């Protein structure tokens, strides 16, 4: 019997995972990606299990991706959106969680504006909890799908130079990517305005620069983050226009990047802000492949956490 | 005649520079020089000190008696060895009017286990907009004014408040926090807030107001007391100001000199307080500040919150923790760490805080109120918050092995707690 390096109930973040665990999810995702290429895109792995998509912060693409991933594994899926939920009527997260437990939900996928909300649920529930993004903390499946995409295209992660550009301070995508990429041996450069890319990030094993040319020079992967208006409660730069002028990936800067550098973005993209519209659609852009790979990675995460093995 | 004879203890009475084995006598609620036919309490192996004084507690009454009441909060104090507490005005209604002060005093007279000294608000409803009736509050019996939990942002208003309070000889206490810098922060801005994705509350938000208060204290030549100092730079600013003779005082809380922001890594809302837990460097600076007198006294900021309020997402939990029952033991750790001598520690828990708010407390001088605490310095115990006298359970120190405990608390000659 093969021993799996995965015995977690929950996927709360990348920070706690070992490289072996990360690689195991990516390997599992490879198998599930093939499912999505078949005529019948469905396997019975989670038949009879119920997944609740608890989205306390609005999201369309991540919720849809989790929903489709669960359905491809034959799980039953319920979506709870913040607008319809009792959370806005004053029910606490604890009570919502206990109600979901009473309904015998097997998996809870949670998106929440408060960092640590998935940990709050995981420590109180028998159900598996999968973090679909918590505040500015982590978004583990995004980092896994980013790594999966890089790995498919480049055949490796270790030794690659990955630049993450944009609003790092308020980004859970950045944090999960930093943990994952550094654990697997990539060299991570963070770039953006000094107000959004504090030097403290160097303590996470990253290089920090505020010079866009320096950040792009020699990068194998360029991951552009969306400028998150909703999380920047105070203005961290003067205007979107100035951001684009100083940090936007325009054609001139793009021309100086390595000829095989991948262009990535977790979406939704702001065309003409952090990325020139044509670059978003160019052949080196893998933005839509990230979306496809997101399904495979989320199937793997749900399958491993919910005891499919 | 009601008399006690506390026998053979090590008496530490820093106000009188006493640290020796001797007896303490109590007659009719006052410290006496002898007490024939008194009931004898054997204090062999124990430390006998003036009753401990905590100038920063939240008793939550009136308004939030589900969190705490004057009765339960003062029982926490008694168990913790405190005989006098100064309670903050962020009650409901706010203690910005004489009626609320009268109510607090009346309730305290009826149910309190220890002496309760109320503070009044600096501004109406703690809004930082208009001065509260400070003169009337003084007449009603407040010992200081503060907008604790809030901070007057308007420098002109704060300056007038200090000038005005000086006329009534009322110290002004301040929760030092610049709102534009602290904004909606929930954790110290630094490595851990970054890793945990929590919004940062930078130390400079405290430093800025500490500096403001130093300048105002100098300008008005009246005492401003900076509450719960948490930042290394603030300690340095205070040290420098005190050297120049600026009339400024400051307190430190046990949680700030015991814990750091690393404690937040499990998102434990019992480690969420305002000001937040900070770094090792800040904690070390607070220890140095206590050692050299920059930080005058220790106070708990006892802040009870219901479990259902704390058992929520970290962002949404209220700030604050219980403190009165663990304060002495956590403070005695400073003696074991050689930060303070035992007499210096006792001074920071007795006559110094009493002097800050001009209470005739904190000494064992003959004729003074017979508030006495008997401490077993060797006693090892485990804090079980489930057994707390508080109505709340919000302590990060639950399950901690502690050393040093009040074994008897005497208020006005009456034993209010003994074990």
Task: Look up the ipTM and state it.
Answer: 0.94
Residue B122's pLDDT band, with cuts at 50, 70 and 90, is: very high
Write the residue in B196, B266, B312 that is nearest to A93 by C-beta: B312
Contacts of range A5-10, beta carbons closer than 8 Å, 24 or more positions apart: A6/A304, A6/A309, A8/A304, A8/A305, A9/A122, A9/A128, A9/A129, A9/A305, A10/A118, A10/A122, A10/A128, A10/A129, A10/A130, A10/A131, A10/A305
Q: What is the pLDDT of residue A86?
A: 60
Mean of pLDDT values over B368-397: 98
Share of chain B above pLDDT 70, in %: 100
Q: What CA–CA distances, in Å, run from A69 to A36, A75, B279?
A: 10, 9, 42
Contact A92 B190 (CB under 8 A): no
What average pLDDT score do residues B278-298 get?
98
Closest CA to A286 of A63, A183, A294, A248: A294
B315 has a chain A CB within 8 A of its CB: yes
Q: Does B308 touch chain A (CB under 8 A)?
A: yes
pLDDT of residue A236: 86
Give the least confident one: A115-124, A210-219, A229-238, B277-286: A229-238
> Which residues in chain B have Cβ-Cβ distances shorter than 8 Å to A138?
197
Residue B135 token pair: 């003169």
| Catalytic residue list of B | 301
CA distance to partner chain A, nearest, from residue B268 (Å): 9
Rounded distance, CA A142 to CA A161, Å?
Answer: 19
Q: Within a 10 A sphere around the Cβ of B192, how many other Cβ atoms?
A: 22
Closest C-alpha among B35, B43, B52 to residue B11: B43
DSSP single-letter state for residue B183: T
- Please list every residue in chain B whose beta carbon sits closer than 8 Å to the beta carbon of residue A201: 194
Name which of A98, A113, A116 to mutate to probe chain B: the one with the most chain B Cβ atoms within 10 A of its Cβ: A116
Q: Which of B180, B184, B188, B196 to probe by mutation at the A interface, max A CB count within 10 Å? A: B196
Instruction: Please give the model's pTM, rounded to 2 decimal places.
Output: 0.95
pLDDT range class, residue A1, cuts 50, 70, 90: very low
Question: Can you tell me the distance from the alpha carbon of B195 to that of A176, in angstroms, rounded to the nearest whole number?
Answer: 10
Quote the percentage of chain A above a pLDDT of 90. 80
Q: pLDDT by residue (tens digit) across A198-251?
A: 999 999 999 999 999 999 999 999 999 988 665 555 678 888 889 999 999 999
- Give the mean pLDDT of B180-184: 94
For chain B, what is the mean pLDDT?
Answer: 97
CB contact under 8 A, A119 and B267: yes
Question: CA nearest A168: which of A137, A139, A190, A146?
Answer: A190
CB contact under 8 A, B195 and A120: no
pLDDT above 80: residue B285:
yes
Q: What digits encode the pLDDT tens for the residues B257-271?
A: 999 999 999 999 999
Instruction: Using the predicted structure, report yes or no on whether residue A183 has a pLDDT greater than 60.
Output: yes
- Check residue A301 and give left, alpha or beta (phi > 0: left; psi -120 to 50: alpha): alpha
Among candidates B191, B197, B266 on the partner chain, residue whose Cβ is nearest the Cβ of A175? B197
Give the mean model confidence (pLDDT) for residues A118-134: 96
CA distance B196 to chain A (A): 5
Decide if B20 touches A, using CB distance below 8 A: no
Residue B392, sorted as left (phi over 0), alpha (psi -120 to 50) or beta, turns out to be beta
Q: Are A49 and A307 in contact (CB under 8 A)?
A: no
Kindly state whether B387 is in contact with chain A, defined as any CB-CB distance less than 8 angstroms. no
Average pLDDT (B205-233) is 98
Provide, as residue numbers in chain B, all residues whose Cβ is less than 8 Å from the Cβ of A115: 196-198, 267, 314-315
Please tell me the predicted confidence (pLDDT) of residue A12: 98
Q: Which residues of A touch B198 (CB under 8 A)?
A: 115-116, 135-137
Task: Show Cβ contacts of residue B343 under 8 Å, excluding neighbours closer than 6 positions.
Answer: B12, B14, B19
Report the mean per-residue pLDDT for chain A. 92
Count the residues in chain B. Answer: 419
Give residue A36's pLDDT.
Answer: 87
pLDDT of B170 strictly over 90? yes
Q: How far is CA B356 from the centre of its chain?
A: 11
- Stretch A166-176: mean pLDDT, rounded? 95
Q: Where are the alpha helices (DSSP H) in B295-365?
A: 307-310, 327-336, 342-349, 351-356
Say if the Cβ atoms of A114 and B315 lie within 8 Å: yes
pLDDT (0 to 100) of residue A85: 58
- The size of the A-B interface in CB pairs under 8 A is 62
Alpha-carbon A22 to chain mean position: 13
CA terminus-to-terminus distance, chain B: 24
Query: In angstroms, rounded to a whole number, what is the distance separating the alpha carbons of residues A195 and A168?
Result: 10
Please give the pLDDT value at position A90: 73
Residue A190 bridge partners (DSSP): A164, A208
Instruction: Give A-chain residues touching B266 at CB under 8 angstroms.
Output: 119
Q: Is the pLDDT of residue A81 over 90?
A: no
* Chain A contact present for B267, CB below 8 A: yes
Query: What are φ and ψ of residue A184, in 5° steps?
Result: -95, 10
With CA atoms as reference, the chain A residue closest to B185 would be: A233
């Amino acid at each position: 019997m093969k021993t799996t390096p995965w015995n977690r109930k929950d996927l709360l973040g990348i920070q706690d995972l070992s490289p072996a665990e990360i690689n195991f999810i990516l390997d599992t995702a490879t198998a599930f990606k093939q499912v999505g290429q078949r005529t019948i895109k469905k396997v019975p792995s989670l038949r009879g299990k119920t997944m609740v998509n608890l989205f306390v912060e609005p999201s369309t693409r991540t919720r849809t991706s989790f929903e489709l991933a669960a359905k491809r594994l034959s799980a039953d899926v319920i979506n709870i959106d913040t607008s319809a939920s009792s959370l806005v009527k004053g029910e606490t997260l604890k009570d919502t969680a206990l109600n979901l437990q009473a309904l015998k939900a097997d998996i809870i996928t949670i998106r929440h504006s408060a960092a640590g909300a998935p940990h709050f649920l995981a420590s109180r529930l028998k159900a598996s909890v999968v973090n679909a993004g918590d505040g500015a903390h982590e978004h583990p499946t995004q980092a896994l799908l980013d790594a999966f995409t890089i790995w498919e295209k480049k055949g490796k992660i270790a030794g690659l130079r990955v630049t993450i550009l944009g609003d790092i301070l308020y980004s859970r995508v950045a944090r999960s990517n930093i943990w994952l990429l550094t654990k697997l041996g990539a060299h991570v450069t963070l770039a953006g305005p000094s107000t959004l890319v504090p030097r403290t990030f160097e303590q996470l094993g990253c290089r920090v620069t505020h010079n866009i040319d320096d950040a792009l020079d020699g990068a194998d992967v360029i991951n552009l983050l969306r400028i998150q208006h909703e999380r920047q409660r105070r203005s961290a730069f003067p205007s979107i226009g100035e951001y684009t002028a100083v940090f936007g990936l325009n054609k001139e800067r793009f021309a100086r990047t390595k000829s095989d550098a991948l262009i990535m973005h977790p979406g939704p993209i702001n065309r003409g802000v952090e990325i020139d519209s044509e670059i978003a659609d160019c052949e080196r852009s893998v933005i839509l492949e990230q979306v496809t790979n997101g399904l495979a990675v989320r199937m793997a995460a749900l399958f491993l956490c919910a005891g499919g093995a | 005649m009601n008399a006690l004879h506390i026998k053979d203890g090590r008496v530490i009475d820093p106000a009188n520079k006493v640290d020796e084995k001797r007896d303490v006598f109590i007659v009719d609620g006052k410290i006496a020089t002898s007490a024939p036919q008194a009931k004898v309490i054997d204090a062999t192996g124990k430390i006998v000190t003036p009753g401990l004084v905590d100038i920063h507690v939240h008793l939550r009454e009136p308004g939030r008696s589900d969190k705490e009441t004057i009765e339960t909060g003062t029982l926490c104090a008694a168990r913790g060895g405190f005989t006098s507490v100064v309670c903050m005005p962020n009650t409901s209604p706010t203690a910005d009017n004489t009626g609320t002060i009268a109510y607090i005093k009346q309730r305290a007279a009826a149910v309190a286990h220890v002496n309760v000294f109320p503070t009044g608000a600096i501004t109406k409803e703690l809004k930082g907009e208009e001065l509260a009736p400070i003169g009337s509050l003084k007449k009603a019996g407040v010992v200081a004014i503060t907008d604790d939990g809030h901070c007057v942002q308007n420098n002109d208003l704060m300056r007038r408040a200090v000038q005005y309070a000086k006329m009534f000889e009322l110290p002004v206490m301040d929760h030092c926090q610049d709102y534009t810098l602290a904004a909606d922060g929930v954790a110290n801005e630094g490595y851990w807030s970054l890793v945990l994705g929590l919004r940062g509350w930078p130390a400079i938000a405290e430093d800025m107001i500490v500096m403001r208060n130093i300048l105002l204290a100098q300008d008005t030549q009246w005492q401003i007391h900076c509450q719960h100092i948490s930042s290394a730079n603030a300690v340095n600013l205070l040290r420098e100001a005190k050297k120049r003779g600026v009339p400024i005082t400051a307190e430190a809380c046990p949680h700030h000199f015991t814990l750091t922001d690393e404690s937040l890594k499990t998102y434990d809302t019992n480690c969420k307080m305002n000001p937040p837990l900070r770094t090792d460097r800040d904690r070390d600076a607070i220890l140095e500040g206590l050692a050299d007198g920059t930080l005058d006294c220790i106070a708990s900021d006892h802040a009870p919150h219901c479990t259902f309020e704390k058992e929520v997402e970290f962002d949404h939990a209220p700030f604050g923790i219980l403190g009165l029952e663990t304060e002495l033991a956590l403070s005695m750790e400073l003696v074991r760490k050689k930060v303070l001598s035992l007499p210096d520690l006792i001074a920071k828990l007795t006559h110094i805080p009493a002097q800050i708010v001009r209470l005739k407390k904190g000494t064992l001088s003959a004729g003074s109120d017979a508030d006495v605490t008997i401490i077993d310095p060797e006693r090892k115990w485990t804090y079980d918050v489930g057994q707390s006298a508080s109505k709340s359970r919000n302590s990060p120190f639950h399950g901690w092995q502690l050393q040093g405990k009040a074994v008897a608390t005497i208020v006005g000659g009456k034993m209010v707690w003994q074990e």
